[in-house]
Amino acid sequence: MRLFIALCLFFASLAAAAMTPEQLLEVYRAAAATASHFKGFSAERGRTFYEAKITGPNGEHSCAGCHGPDPRSTIDGHGGAIRAECRACHLTDAPGPGERSKMRRHIRPLAPSANPDRFTDADKVELWFDVNCFFVLGRPCTAQEKGDLLTYLLSVK
């Protein structure tokens, strides 16, 4: 009986995290609306944010640096379009000088139009925003930044 209850709670938590990118955008809208300067999200600001090279504590990086200039593309980070130092996309566990990574890293499209699974698991989205925002910016992304970026990615057809 305990196992049954535990499984029910586990699957209920998975269902609670499932949402559409548009629903997630509404969550960010509600969070951003608490700021007095919030006037809505902008696909143009999101595109600028995605492409911007930002110098942070980990060097100069951008979203497009790891995800590619076209968010509809799959990136083979260890042999395809991205040929950079390992630390350009990895904070830790990068191979040492002269070593090759044993892992091939395929980054699936970021745009929901090309990858319908993107932005459907709120917990996973927040985890990756935490990881990537700290890596690129050295701080958490704001609800405005998340909403602008998601608005841009939803506009990419």
Q: What's the CATH code of the domain at 77?
A: 1.10.760.10
CA 114 to CA 93: how far, in whole Å? 29
In a domain, 11, yes or no: no
Distances (CA, A) of 27 to 40, 58, 77: 13, 29, 31
Residue 4 pLDDT class (50, 70, 90 cuts): very low
- Could you tell me which residue, 54 or 100, shows the higher pLDDT? 54
Q: What pLDDT does residue 53 have?
A: 94
How many angstroms separate the CA atoms of 75 and 125, rounded?
Answer: 19
**Inside any domain, residue 97:** yes
12 assigned to some structural domain = no
When divided into structural domains, the chain yields a total of 1
Tell me, yes or no, whether 1 lies in a domain.
no
Any domain includes 130? yes
By C-alpha distance, which of 61, 73, 79, 151 is closest to 110? 73
pTM of the predicted model, to two decimals? Answer: 0.76
Q: Is residue 72 part of a domain?
A: yes
Mean pLDDT of 36-62: 93
What tens digit of pLDDT does each residue of 98-154 get? Answer: 555 555 567 899 999 999 999 999 999 999 999 999 988 999 999 999 999 999 999
Range of the domain at 124: 19-155
Is residue 44 scored above 80 in pLDDT? Answer: yes
- Rounded Cα gap, residues 63 and 48, in angstroms: 10
